[in-house]
Amino acid sequence: MTNSTLISHEKESASIDSAKASIKEQLKTEALPEGTTLKEAESIVDELSKFGFGKFLLKNRGINGKWTRYMVLYPRLWKNSPVDLEGNPQTEFERWMLTSAPIIMATQERFTFFQEIMQSELKDESTLISVACGMMDDLLCLDFSKTRNPQLIGTDLDSQSLALAKEQATSMGMEQHTNFILADAWDIPLEQKADILTSNGLNIYEPDDEKVLALFASFFKALKPGGLLVTSFFTKPPALSSESPWSFTQINTEDLALQKLMFVHILAVRFQCYSTESLIKKQLESAGFKEISFRYDRAKLFPTVTARRPL
Q: Are 292 and 307 in contact (CB under 8 A)?
A: yes
Q: Which residue type occupies 46?
A: D
pLDDT in tens, 158-174: 999 999 999 999 999 99
How many domains would you assign to the chain? 1
Is residue 131 one of the residues assigned to a domain?
yes
Is residue 289 one of the residues assigned to a domain?
yes
The residue segments making up the domain with residue 145 are 106-238+279-308
pLDDT of the residue at 271: 86
Mean pLDDT for 270-278 is: 93
Is residue 53 one of the residues assigned to a domain?
no
pLDDT at 264 over 60: yes
pLDDT of the residue at 2: 37
pLDDT of the residue at 62: 87
Is residue 71 one of the residues assigned to a domain?
no
Identify the band that residue 13 occupies on the pLDDT scale cut at 50, 70 and 90: low
Q: From CA 230, how far away is CA 277, in angstroms rounded?
A: 14
Angle (CA) 275-132-15 rounded to 5° is 95
pTM of the model: 0.92
pLDDT of the residue at 186: 97
Identify the band that residue 201 occupies on the pLDDT scale cut at 50, 70 and 90: confident
pLDDT of the residue at 78: 95
Q: Are 113 and 295 in contact (CB under 8 A)?
A: yes
Is residue 231 one of the residues assigned to a domain?
yes
pLDDT at 300 over 90: yes
Question: Higher model confidence: residue 14 or residue 289?
Answer: 289
Residue 161's alpha-carbon distances to 185, 228, 281, 294, in angstroms, are 15, 24, 30, 29
pLDDT of the residue at 98: 97
pLDDT of the residue at 273: 95
Mean pLDDT for 221-250 is: 96
pLDDT in tens, 54-113: 999 999 998 888 999 999 999 999 999 999 989 999 999 999 999 999 999 999 999 999
pLDDT at 10 over 50: no
- Indicate which CATH number applies to the domain containing 177: 3.40.50.150
Q: Which residues contact 261 (CB under 8 A, 6 or more apart)?
A: 32, 33, 36, 41, 44
Q: From CA 27, how far away is CA 29, in angstroms rounded?
A: 5
* Concatenated DSSP letters of the chain: --HHHHHHHHHHHHHHHHHHHHHHHHHTTS-PPTT--HHHHHHHHHHHTTSHHHHHHHHHSS--HHHHHHHHHHHHHTTT-SB-TTSPBPPHHHHHHHHH-HHHHHHHHHHHHHHHHHHHH--TT-EEEEET-TT-HHHHTS--TTSSS-EEEEEES-HHHHHHHHHHHHHTT-GGGEEEEE--GGG-S-SS-EEEEE---GGGG---HHHHHHHHHHHHHHEEEEEEEEEE-EEPPTTT-TT----TTSS-HHHHHHHHIIIIIIS--S---EE-HHHHHHHHHHHT-EEEEEE--TTSSS-EEEEE---
Identify the band that residue 8 occupies on the pLDDT scale cut at 50, 70 and 90: very low
Is residue 76 one of the residues assigned to a domain?
no
Identify the band that residue 12 occupies on the pLDDT scale cut at 50, 70 and 90: low
Mean pLDDT for 113-142 is: 97
Is residue 1 one of the residues assigned to a domain?
no
Is residue 286 one of the residues assigned to a domain?
yes
Percent of the chain with pLDDT over 70: 95
